[in-house]
A and B are shown apart, each in its own frame.
Chain A
């Protein structure tokens, strides 16, 4: 029908001409209704266009042909083409409602994940307190998302799941779906949310594991680094900081870069001089509008993180920002990650005791991986969350 480049289509064996991969339980019904409406529409479209072309040719003005300009009327015909489309749309309505009620009615046994949307990033919080910027879920399990927005409207949209719901600030919106295909799928923000709306594309933002892979990932993700600097960077990646603040010197995304900021004296939008010290960092996270840097007064406003980060996390982020004055550290995180090798060369590995614990944990992965399996998934998520956020010992800089 359309001149589409076939190789591109066939790149993903699960995608079809019309649809991305059918990766959730909704896809089958939605795609079926889509196709049925398509056939109905093609039928009526062909009917309309065929009649139009036929009449335009058969009754065209030409020598020797005299049309009849008198009115025609036919109530039977009028009623037919009123009633038949009415019946068809009634049927489409009912089918649409059926599918919709499935989408709006989550089953009892779900894995509950908290989603936070903010300009322009997502974070996901799991029942055991793990936080990530990608959504990791097990295959063939019903997933329930409790979604909040920190600033403006967003919409959580995974085309492969045929699932979308707006994330409305001031409300908790929920949605559910059940993946049926392992793999990585794109996550889009579908509601316009400002400057970098289109950078809220999360390429492969949803990872569907098999159950064992999910458990292993979850156990690992629940352990933030103990070292304060590494913990700060870990939070920087997961709490949405990285979508606006670069770690490369002089690179402005929306807000200023973190590189080489510490200890500098900055000019604020109000014309005052302020030192980029620990107090300034703390204030800027909790009350971002208090001392806006000169040149940024027209940038999108940063939301306050008051109540979203605890003191330990603030300290860790501060330690990370202090470390950002160091060339070696800037170099190490330039690739957007802080690898184990980087940590070792910079001396940011967890301390001896913690190291042992870390090694312990590594050898323990098998065991801890079993744990969430046994745990009822719908257990109150906040309890382990607070536990894990308090678990790192005090920073030892």
Chain B
């Protein structure tokens, strides 16, 4: 083991801080620094989330009554389309990979930047361009096809379907560029000593996500082009009027959009793996099982798209195969949950804000995963398909999983990104509101679903009103929790205490550069150590945080039986 005792905190001048080393609008707008691009992504996806979240509250408020209140059915349809489309394409898909991933991947890896910094910046501007294009199209005449663009409604409605699909097409390029960049970065830019099995699990998850982004997103692009061609040229592939078949569209669409579900959840899982280990001050349990399960999920994710179509009139044999494969993908997810729990065992658990969000993630993701069993089983899926049961299931995974993982990650790496600490008490209060509000919103929706309430209904039969009201009140609590979280972050920016380089006691490389990091990340190639070995860490109090003391005379104990030569 190299004996370079780096004490990075003091060796890097404050003026090298990536936030302030150059100033002015253009120094941000044209930056090639992955950390600045990551922060710009963070602001952009949070703004999208804010808009789509407000729309969700509008929808829930309209659903307080079974009949028309303040939205006509057409407006309701436009609002749920906007909510779904913004959440999926502008928030959840880019949230962890593009915002946190851009900031963290090179630093965690011990590299100075991503492999293609210009491609990285162009991916951000493609996102911005795509978002503007998409939103203009959606708002201009009110797209009302749902985020799924199912044919033949999307080929016959007079909405701006072609423009919206072009927006999605552009956003897809942004996603592909990010994925490609991460794959190349992780493959080629690992510093000496950073073997595959010394990589933090967040990087494994990001790598798995990037594979999906690069392989699946082109199919979305093709589907969107075919949809546009069907709309303009009537080529006769999706619209039965021209001898097309609408079910073909569903196959195309879900061939991307099911793997996309794992673009949304895998990075969240990566975040949780880091949070559980660091805040339990305990080496992760089953490192290899978690790493391999990320790759297994990525590969299985390509084979299960048909479970969105069990009632579409697909052949029985196809349904059986898709059901079996769907159950296969549930196992790696279960393994991860058990490993995270076992990580806490005999550790030193610090229940601070990031850890509270991590535990909330496990609570909600477990429900989200288990409710998948009803939908994977063919006979129970038939009555539940396209009901609120499905709505609730995927919100448990997308919101309870991706969003809560994203929030946990933000709080965890906030001191690193901004150099500021936040108010931990109010952070935990926000988490409590999110946990209670979320369950109050979505648990009743499972019951609504099993009683037969179909999704995407502006009006409903009066028996369902009480459960809908309960759900709406829950959504207000959830909204309050998210506003508190936003307040905590804004307060931290303005009044937060200076953050030490390593406030939580993390052993991965990002905690070895200052908070915030200098624009070059590391002045020397960092000494790569085991990512979850906490023995060399020493605590110097709240002000100074933890310090990684490189053992200069004794070899660092190898924590994984893995061969280090690989």
Q: Can you list, as one digit per residue, whether each of A136-167 has a CB less than 8 Å from chain B (1) or not (0)?
A: 00000000000000011101010110111110
- B304 interface residue per 8 A CB criterion: no
User: Chain A interface: which size bin?
Assistant: 35 or more
The answer to whether A186 touches B461, judged by C-beta atoms less than 8 angstroms apart, is yes
Q: Can you list, as one digit per residue, whether each of B133-175 has a CB less than 8 Å from chain A (1) or not (0)?
A: 0000000010010100010110011100000000000000000
- A352 interface residue per 8 A CB criterion: no
A18 to B374, CA, bound (A): 14
Among the listed B366, B373, B450, B470, which residue makes an inter-chain contact with A92, where contact means beta carbons less than 8 Å apart?
Answer: B373
- With A45-B370, A52-B362 given, is the CB distance from A37 to B380 under 8 Å? yes
Determine chain A's interface SS by DSSP, over half rule.
mixed
Q: Can you list, as one digit per residue, whether each of A158-190 has a CB less than 8 Å from chain B (1) or not (0)?
A: 011011111011110100000000000010111
Residues in B whose Cβ lies below 8 Å from that of A66: 348
Q: Can you list, as one digit per residue, whether each of A189-217 has a CB less than 8 Å from chain B (1) or not (0)?
A: 11111111111010100000000000000
- A96 interface residue per 8 A CB criterion: yes
- A69 interface residue per 8 A CB criterion: yes
In chain B, residues 318-345, which have Cβ atoms closer than 8 Å to a Cβ of chain A? 319-320, 323-324, 327, 330-331, 334-335, 337-339, 341-342, 344-345
- With A37-B380, A45-B370, A195-B74 given, is the CB distance from A3 to B470 under 8 Å? yes
The answer to whether B327 touches A49, judged by C-beta atoms less than 8 angstroms apart, is no
Residues in A whose Cβ lies below 8 Å from that of B386: 155, 157, 164, 190-191
A56 to chain B, nearest CB (A): 5
Q: Among the listed stretches A78-86, A354-362, A371-379, which one makes contact with chain B, having 4 or more residues with CB under 8 Å of it?
A: A78-86
B558 to chain A, nearest CB (A): 10
The answer to whether A99 touches B348, judged by C-beta atoms less than 8 angstroms apart, is no
A175 to B534, CA, bound (A): 60
The answer to whether A59 touches B344, judged by C-beta atoms less than 8 angstroms apart, is yes
Residues in B whose Cβ lies below 8 Å from that of A33: 377, 379-380
The answer to whether A298 touches B281, judged by C-beta atoms less than 8 angstroms apart, is no
In chain A, residues 208-259, which have Cβ atoms closer than 8 Å to a Cβ of chain B? none
The answer to whether A67 touches B348, judged by C-beta atoms less than 8 angstroms apart, is yes
- With A30-B380, A97-B378, A197-B73 given, is the CB distance from A82 to B335 under 8 Å? yes
Among the listed A19, A67, A97, A164, which residue makes an inter-chain contact with B281, where contact means beta carbons less than 8 Å apart?
Answer: A67
Q: Can you list, as one digit per residue, whether each of B46-75 has a CB less than 8 Å from chain A (1) or not (0)?
A: 000000000000000000000000000110
Taking CB as reference atom, which chain A residue is nearest B444? Answer: A2
- B492 interface residue per 8 A CB criterion: no
B50 to chain A, nearest CB (A): 26
The answer to whether A99 touches B378, judged by C-beta atoms less than 8 angstroms apart, is yes
Among the listed B153, B286, B362, which residue makes an inter-chain contact with A194, where contact means beta carbons less than 8 Å apart?
Answer: B153
B454 to chain A, nearest CB (A): 4
Residues in B whose Cβ lies below 8 Å from that of A85: 330-331, 334
The answer to whether A60 touches B351, judged by C-beta atoms less than 8 angstroms apart, is yes
A168 to B382, CA, bound (A): 16
Taking CB as reference atom, which chain B residue is nearest A195? Answer: B74
The answer to whether A93 touches B324, judged by C-beta atoms less than 8 angstroms apart, is yes
Residues in B whose Cβ lies below 8 Å from that of A2: 443-444, 447, 470
- A108 interface residue per 8 A CB criterion: no
- B300 interface residue per 8 A CB criterion: no
Among the listed A44, A165, A199, which residue makes an inter-chain contact with B311, where contact means beta carbons less than 8 Å apart?
Answer: A165
B257 to chain A, nearest CB (A): 15
- A76 interface residue per 8 A CB criterion: no
The answer to whether B560 touches A82, judged by C-beta atoms less than 8 angstroms apart, is no
Residues in A whose Cβ lies below 8 Å from that of B240: 168-171
A72 to B281, CA, bound (A): 13
Residues in B whose Cβ lies below 8 Å from that of A173: 313
- B35 interface residue per 8 A CB criterion: no
A194 to B337, CA, bound (A): 40
Among the listed A3, A86, A166, A196, which residue makes an inter-chain contact with B331, where contact means beta carbons less than 8 Å apart?
Answer: A86
Among the listed B335, B363, B373, B383, which residue makes an inter-chain contact with A159, where contact means beta carbons less than 8 Å apart?
Answer: B383
Q: Can you list, as one digit per residue, whether each of A36-65 has a CB less than 8 Å from chain B (1) or not (0)?
A: 010011001100110110011001110001
Residues in A whose Cβ lies below 8 Å from that of B311: 155, 164-166, 190
Residues in A whose Cβ lies below 8 Å from that of B337: 48
The answer to whether A45 touches B153, judged by C-beta atoms less than 8 angstroms apart, is no
- B245 interface residue per 8 A CB criterion: yes
Residues in A whose Cβ lies below 8 Å from that of B157: 194, 300
Residues in B whose Cβ lies below 8 Å from that of A11: 463
The answer to whether A20 touches B451, judged by C-beta atoms less than 8 angstroms apart, is yes
- A104 interface residue per 8 A CB criterion: yes
The answer to whether A19 touches B450, judged by C-beta atoms less than 8 angstroms apart, is yes
Residue from B153, B324, B452 with most neighbouring chain A CB atoms (10 Å): B452
A4 to B451, CA, bound (A): 13
B354 to chain A, nearest CB (A): 14
Residues in A whose Cβ lies below 8 Å from that of B245: 168, 170-171
- B43 interface residue per 8 A CB criterion: no
Residues in A whose Cβ lies below 8 Å from that of B280: 59, 67
- With A56-B351, A169-B246 given, is the CB distance from A93 to B327 under 8 Å? yes
15 contacts between A and B (CB under 8 A): A30-B380, A33-B377, A40-B373, A55-B345, A59-B345, A60-B351, A69-B533, A72-B346, A73-B561, A89-B330, A92-B376, A157-B383, A168-B313, A170-B244, A198-B458
Q: Give B residues with C-beta under 8 Å from A.
A: 73-74, 76-77, 141, 144, 146, 150, 152-153, 156-158, 240, 243-247, 280-287, 289, 311-313, 316, 319-320, 323-324, 327, 330-331, 334-335, 337-339, 341-342, 344-351, 359, 362-363, 366-367, 370-371, 373-374, 376-383, 385-387, 443-444, 447, 450-452, 454-461, 463, 466-467, 470, 532-535, 559-561
Assuming A97-B323, A166-B312, A198-B459, what are 19 further A-B pairs, CB within 8 angstroms?
Answer: A45-B367, A52-B341, A52-B359, A55-B349, A60-B350, A69-B535, A73-B285, A85-B330, A96-B323, A96-B378, A96-B379, A99-B379, A100-B316, A100-B320, A164-B311, A165-B382, A170-B240, A170-B243, A195-B74
